[in-house]
Amino acid sequence: MAKIILTGDRPTGRLHLGHYVGSLRRRVELQNSGEYDEIYIMIADAQALTDNFDNPDKIRDNIIEVALDYLSAGLDPDKANIFIQSAVPELTELTFYYSNLVTLSRLERNPTVKTEIQLRNFETSIPVGFLTYPISQTSDITAFKATTVPVGEDQLPMLEQAREIVRKFNSTYGETLVEAQALLPDNKICSRLPGTDGKAKMSKSLGNCIYLSDTPEEVSKKVMSMFTDPNHLKVSDPGSLEGNTVFTYLDAFAKDEHFAKYAPDYKNLQEMKEHYQRGGLGDVKVKRLLINVLEEELAPIRARRAELQKDIPAVYEILKKGTDIARKKAGETLSEVKAAMRINYFDDEELIKSQQEKFNG
Ligand code: TRP
């Protein structure tokens, strides 16, 4: 069976380091591994509208931001089709048919949806489109016959729901759809990078993000004000690593080579951590290291973005081409789905012939 990747992001803002370590960096590696037959990366504007229906310009303006982030982080349009969800109407059609296979109580039990409903104060009146977005996400995954969906941990309930719908579809209408597997980040820290304030998650609304497109000055300012150990007042005080965001980020980004270059007093992160815990190592020194480490990763991304930004029509052309390819594939799957569901009247010569005979003998 072909190995196919599908994944995507809601275009509600520029992408930040949480997106980067949680999935973007991995996608680029998967793309370059050459192990996958097809790769689809979706800008999920229709899904973003399920909780931003009253702010369409926010979504509209962020399509290009996300596309620029993708390309500057290393996604290569020759290897990965980048496309816009709403421009593939076949996905919406699939969603309509899949919704027959899901109960309201199952949707209400989805833990990701539950948390998001609380976050958005939707408890008293949930938009139907929001509640049903896991069905639409199932269409995204199945339309491309994806086998592998690289996502963060928070998306596991979506994958589970998708797999249930696939099983229900296949048992009702015959083997048609593929059950996809989630591919999680390979380490815990990357699964959920905390915000610069130490809060559980980077989130635009909390203002605790470092963006891929931040300038060196912005990165440095954000790192310098990062949450560390509030009891580590004097350099000589022993410091704690627990919930110490600067060290969490170093866990996610630092390699041994960085120490030789930027903090030669230590062989590796472990040695630096031990010094911090003993006392005698100040936060500023650790933060300076982190700035250097982040800059190594971000400088090439920033430079590619600066180039890409010079030709915005070319970026839209990439999206257009990716979308055309995505539509073709989704159209093929939709035809198979309709055939399995016995609603392919016009392409079924047998149907017309047999009914002609039925009525005329
Ligand atoms: N729900 C995902 C997110 O919020 C975005 C998304 C939409 C997605 N459709 C998808 C991810 C299909 C993986 C597969 O980040």
Q: pLDDT per residue over 289-339, tens digit each?
A: 999 999 999 999 999 999 999 999 999 999 999 999 999 999 999 999 999
**Domain 204-308 coded CATH 1.10.240.10:** yes
Residue 50: closest CA among 59, 41, 62, 40: 59
Residues in the chain, pLDDT under 50: none
Q: Which ligand 1 atom is nearest residue 158's CA?
A: 1
* 137 CA to centre of ligand 1 in angstroms: 6
Task: Indicate if ligand 1 lies below 6 Å from the C-beta of 202.
Answer: no
Burial 114-125 (b: 16+ CB within 10 A, else e): eebbeeeeeeee
Say if residues 246 and 226 touch (Cβ distance below 8 Å).
yes
Indicate whether residue 51 lines ligand 1 (CB < 6 A).
no
- Domain layout of the chain by residue ranges: 4-192+312-356, 204-308
pLDDT of residue 92: 98
Predicted pLDDT of residue 192? 79
Ligand 1 centroid to 198 CA: how many Å?
Answer: 25
What is the predicted pLDDT for the residue at 185?
Answer: 84
Whether the CB of 113 sits within 6 Å of ligand 1: no
Ligand 1 neighbour 41 (Cβ under 6 A): no
Q: 47 CB under 6 A from ligand 1?
A: yes
The finding on whether 138 has its CB within 6 A of some atom of ligand 1 is no
- Comparing CA positions, the residue from 160, 157, 146 lying closest to residue 38 is 146
* Cα separations in angstroms, 183 against 26, 151, 156, 186, 359: 10, 6, 9, 9, 54
pTM: 0.94
Pocket flag, ligand 1, residue 9 (CB < 6 Å): yes
What does the pLDDT read at residue 191? 75
- Tokens 């998967």 map to which residue? 30
Could you tell me the distance, in angstroms and rounded to a whole number, from the CA of residue 326 to the centre of ligand 1? 16
Alpha-carbon distance of 169 to 197, in angstroms, equals 45
Report how far ligand 1's centroid is from the alpha carbon of 134 (Å): 9
Residue whose CA lies nearest to ligand 1 atom number 6 = 8
Q: Are 192 and 18 in contact (CB under 8 A)?
A: yes
C-alpha 348 – ligand 1 centre gap (Å): 35
Asked if residue 141 has its Cβ within 6 Å of ligand 1, the reply is yes
Residue 334's pLDDT is 98
Q: How far is the CA of 257 from the centre of ligand 1 (A)?
A: 35
Dihedral sign, CA of 180, 86, 36, 338?
positive
Examine domains 4-192+312-356 and 204-308 and report if their fold is the same. Answer: no
Q: Cα dist. 27→146, 166, 238, 306, 359 in Å?
A: 14, 24, 39, 22, 56
CATH 3.10.110.10 fits 4-192+312-356, yes or no: no
Q: Is 151 in the pocket of ligand 1 (CB under 6 A)?
A: yes
DSSP secondary structure letter of residue 21: I
